[in-house]
Structure formats: structure tokens, C-alpha cells
Amino acid sequence: MASRRIPVASPAAIAAAAIVSMAVVAAAFNAPSISFDEGYSPLFGEKNIIQSAGGRTVKIHLNKFSGSGFISSEIYYHGFFSASIKLPSDYTAGVVVAFYMSNGDIFEKNHDELDFEFLGNVKGKEWRIQTNVYGNGSTNRGREERYQLPFDPTAEAHRYSILWTNATIIFYIDDTPIREVVKNDAMGGDYPSKPMSLYATIWDGSAWATAGGKYKVDYKYAPFATEFSDLVLHGCRLNPIQQLPASEQCRDVDESTAAADYSYLSPENREALLRFRHKYMTYAFCYDELRYPIPLPECEVVHSEKARYSNSGDIKLQQKQIARRSRAARRRRVRSRVEADRQFVS
């Protein structure tokens, strides 16, 4: 995502997790939310940022004039960061929505980044979600994973969360972990290690976002609005004036974060993670042999799982999917013939 940044100006079963209410999720994580003004400020396209009364909800818009986005008012060194997000519906090809951490404005050549990125689609097709991890400017070693969603992200808001500590990174959707990155020595600087800000943006990614740029943003469907609520910034806010290293400034907060329920994957949560990835992951960089003939150091290749993916890292088309599509195609052909017969008779 780093090369596509802002224009100038992805113990319950996943099906149950998909319908857990946001209030229950917030209670489960024990992470109090804040208003927009308590933690964020506009980044660009300020006229396209609309807050609710009290600032507990904020909408960012994309129209033919501009996208929009906001940024945390502080920089953070580790923590738990979250928002409930409702995506725009209808035709959204070319639209990119992102909720992410980055320090690219401070470290232009060796920045760190943690991404949730949502890619729009043509009408009738689902939004796609991907996560990514960059450390120390390692943009030539992208660690993308892409997923389908087990719910309609345009019907109601769902919570997307990032846990970042000095030992692990966990991405959550609602209260289900979908990805874990465990730091190891071989990763070196590829593991994010510098303070970052939180961002939320919506912008025109027509050049690449949908079918490699085949389908562009169609502004007759604009404005495209994404709603953010339940904003959580639970981390160590760094004081740049203090001379103490970040690890010393943040020792107490790091200990508090490590003790929180979202920092530990119980056996039930780990099973939920594996179940989600088995059912919904569609691309895994660890299985992309064309890009990485030698897997990156944090990859733990599971051969039974690897068999489900092609050497490009993309999930293979399953026989059930092929059969389902064939049946759907046959039904469409039958309906077409029936309609043609009716028209002929009339």
C-alpha cells in the first residue's frame, strides 16, 4: 500500500462472529472509545469529512473533486487501535478505503506500516479486504493477505482492529483474529519498530484497485461515503520532547497492553483464526512462490494448507465453486429460454 498512498491535495465461529453486536465486541475487548476530536484531526479533503453531533461517528467522502481522510493527533508506540467501519454500497469499483498505521511522513525512506485496505468492486460483486505489514521501508517485500468477508460490509458497521506490540501483531475483524505476525530475529527491520500515527482515508484507486484497473471509479454513483465509529486509540502516546527511548517511555503502557484479553490468543481464538483463514483467505504471500521462491522468514508453511493455493499465492478454484457456478449459469440459460418463449408466444 505504501506505493499507493494518499492522493495529493482485510471463541465463536466466524459465522457467529459476523453477527456479534458492536457493543458486545467492545465489551469483550474492554477498549473504551473516544470522540473524533479527542483523538483525530482532518488530514485532507476537510470539506468531505462530516462528524455527527458529539463526534462519535464520522463520515469520509470521495467525490469527483477530492477524497478525504483523517489522522491521529498523537503518534503511538504499540497499542490496540480499532474502528467500526461501514463501507459504501452499490457500484464502488476503483474506490479504496484504508484504516492503517504509518510513519511515512516522518521516515520517508524507511517507514513502517500496518494496513487494513478495502477495495471496491462493480455492482453485485463483493468488497475485497487485504492486510499488509511493512517495516523499515520494506515495500519491495510486501506481506499482503487477501480475504473474502462472511458478511455484507455495506449493510452495517463491523469492527476492524490492529494490535501492535514489540512481539506480535494481530489483525481482528469484530472479535475474530484473522492474522497473527510473530516477531522473530530473522525478520530484522521488517518488523515495524518505530512510532506510528493512525490514518483513515478514502480515495480514487482507479489505476489498480479493481481488476488491475479495468474498472474505474464512476462518479455518477458519488459521493462514496464510509462511516467510522467506536474509535479506539489505546496505546502509548510518545512525547517527542522527552529524551527517554520509546521503550522506556512506554514500559507501563506496554505491560498494560500485554495483559489485555486482545493480546492473547486462547486455544478457542486460535481455532477461530485458523477457521477464518481456511474459509475466507484468497491470497497468501507465504505461498506465492513466483514472488518469493524462498518464503519470508516469518512464514510457517503448512503443506496441507499450501496444497489449496497455486504457486501465485492465490486460492485454487475449488470444485464446489465450479459446480455452483455451472449450476447458476444453467439456471440463467433456462430463464433466458423461458423468457424468449414467452415473448414468442405473446
Assign residue 37 the CATH number of its domain: 2.60.120.200
The reply to whether 252 and 240 lie within a common domain is yes
Q: Mapping DSSP to helix (H, G, I), strand (E, B) and coil, where does residue 78 land?
A: strand
Phi/psi at 77 (nearest 5 deg)? -120, 95
The reply to whether 219 and 241 lie within a common domain is yes
CB neighbour burial string for 204-236, b if at least 16 within 10 angstroms, e if fewer: bbbeebbeeeebebbeebebbbbbbbbbbbbbb
The reply to whether 257 and 149 lie within a common domain is yes
DSSP state of 156: S
pLDDT at 29: 77
pLDDT at 41 over 80: yes
Residue 20: which pLDDT band, with cuts at 50, 70 and 90? very low
pTM for the structure as a whole: 0.84
pLDDT at 14 over 50: no
pLDDT at 128: 96
Q: How far apart are CA 60 and CA 224, in angstroms?
A: 8
pLDDT at 122: 96
The reply to whether 160 and 306 lie within a common domain is yes
The reply to whether 278 and 323 lie within a common domain is no
Task: Using the structure block, give the residue that is written with the C-alpha cell 496441507.
Answer: 304
Residue 31: which pLDDT band, with cuts at 50, 70 and 90? confident
pLDDT at 274 over 60: yes
The reply to whether 280 and 146 lie within a common domain is yes
SS (H, E, C) 90-142: CCCCCEEEEEEEECCCCCCCCCCEEEEEEECCCCCCCCEEEEEEECCCCHHHC
State pLDDT tens for residues 136-184: 988 888 899 999 999 999 999 999 999 999 999 999 999 999 999 999 9
Question: What's the structural domain count of the chain?
Answer: 2
SS (H, E, C) 201-228: EEEECCCCCCHHHCCCCCHHHCCEEEEE
Q: How far is CA 258 from CA 15, 161, 194, 255, 261, in A?
A: 28, 16, 18, 5, 8
The reply to whether 343 and 261 lie within a common domain is no
DSSP state of 158: E
pLDDT at 242: 74
User: Do 262 and 172 meet the contact criterion of CB atoms below 8 Å apart?
Assistant: yes
The reply to whether 335 and 304 lie within a common domain is no
Q: Mapping DSSP to helix (H, G, I), strand (E, B) and coil, where does residue 293 land?
A: coil
Picking from 4-18, 256-270, 289-303, 308-322, which range would have the lowest pLDDT averaged per residue? 4-18
Preceding peptide of 223 cis, ω within 30° = yes
User: Do 131 and 119 meet the contact criterion of CB atoms below 8 Å apart?
Assistant: no
Domain that holds residue 108: 2-315
pLDDT at 270: 96
Half-sphere CA count of 128, side-chain side, radius 13 A: 18
pLDDT at 328: 55
Q: How far apart are CA 343 and CA 109, in angstroms?
A: 65
User: Do 281 and 130 meet the contact criterion of CB atoms below 8 Å apart?
Assistant: no
Residue 8: which pLDDT band, with cuts at 50, 70 and 90? very low
Percent of the chain past pLDDT 90, that is, above it, reads 74
Residue 101: which pLDDT band, with cuts at 50, 70 and 90? very high
pLDDT at 244: 74
**Average pLDDT for 94-107:** 96
The reply to whether 291 and 308 lie within a common domain is yes
The reply to whether 243 and 343 lie within a common domain is no
The reply to whether 269 and 336 lie within a common domain is no
The reply to whether 38 and 175 lie within a common domain is yes
User: Do 199 and 69 meet the contact criterion of CB atoms below 8 Å apart?
Assistant: yes
* Catalytic positions: 113, 117
User: Do 11 and 20 meet the contact criterion of CB atoms below 8 Å apart?
Assistant: no
Q: Give the number of other Cβ atoms within 10 Å of residue 293's Cβ.
A: 8
Q: How far is CA 115 from CA 38, 160, 163, 200, 329, in A?
A: 23, 11, 12, 10, 37
User: If you compute the radius of gyration of the chain from its CA atoms, what whole number of angstroms results?
Assistant: 21
Picking from 80-89, 237-246, 307-316, which range would have the lowest pLDDT averaged per residue? 237-246
pLDDT at 134 over 50: yes
pLDDT at 260: 92
State pLDDT tens for residues 287-330: 999 999 999 999 988 888 899 999 999 999 754 454 454 455 55
* Mean confidence (pLDDT) of the chain: 87
User: Do 192 and 113 meet the contact criterion of CB atoms below 8 Å apart?
Assistant: yes
**Average pLDDT for 198-220:** 97
More confident residue, 167 or 17: 167
